[in-house]
Structure 1
Amino acid sequence: MNRPTYWLVTRGSLWLAAFSLIYLCGAALLGWTRAYEVLIGITSPAATPAPLMGWMLSLVGWLMVPSFVGGVTGYLVNRQVDRRRVDSEEDFERRIRHQLGLPPLEGGGR
């Protein structure tokens, strides 16, 4: 398995399990519709029959879900950028210096 797949299977499944547990408990206490509305921020957690569960769902909706999605997306975008990098920094610097007509650096680098 490559790194993202491995992470999603090992660590990502734990995050998904924690999220599912909190959401299912919230749905059992608040109802499916209200739990969803609290999760995405339509309904205030304080306006629910179980405010503690509402606050937990609200925190998950505001912190855990965007963090997870942003982290996975950032990692995958970074991998794609790294795949498309052809030259090392030294090769890039040498090519730019050559195009500008500058002499090469002594010692072949920095």
Structure 2
Amino acid sequence: MLGLTALYLLNGFLNGWVNAYDVLVTITSPGNVKQQWCAWPLSIAGWAVVPATIGAAVGYVVTTQIDSHRTQEMSDLLDELRRYTIPPTDEGG
């Protein structure tokens, strides 16, 4: 991640911040900027590192949610499921 940050900063200073962002998220081709020698590694890193980072973050959140449900007792889970299956009563009328 430190390498990606360094590449982004280098491209920001040499090619402009908008171009650096566009190359990172593959909106712009690295061949369309002034300093292509540093844009190509940023583009490749953005293609590989950014989706992996997003996937890791989503995986962490999903795992945390699953683990929080695993800490409940089985009887509590069954009671909760039973509450969802009981049809609502017609009160008031």
Aligned identity (percent) is: 37
Please provide the CA RMSD for this pair.
1.8
Deviation at 1:56, TM superposition (A): 1.3
Corresponding residue SS for 2:34: coil
Aligned to 1:61: 46
Give the unaligned 5+ runs of structure 2. 75-93
Corresponding residue SS for 2:4: helix
Size of the alignment, in residue pairs? 73
Q: Matches of 2:4 and 2:73 in 1, distance apart?
A: 41
Aligned to 2:23: 38
Per-residue CA distance 1:10-58 (angstroms, 9 max, x = gap): xxxxx2x322211000111111111111112121111222222111111
TM-score (norm 1): 0.57
Q: Matches of 1:73 and 1:43 in 2, distance apart?
A: 26
Aligned to 2:83: none
Is 1:18–2:3 an aligned residue pair?
A: yes
Would you say the 8 A contact 2:4–2:42 is kept in 1?
no
Give the unaligned 5+ runs of structure 1. 1-14, 89-110
Aligned to 2:13: 28
Q: Matches of 1:63 and 1:51 in 2, distance apart?
A: 18
Greater relative CO (CA pairs within 8 A, separation 6+): 2
Aligned to 2:35: 50
Aligned to 1:92: none
Q: Matches of 1:21 and 1:80 in 2, distance apart?
A: 33
Residue 52 of structure 1 aligns to which amino acid in structure 2? W
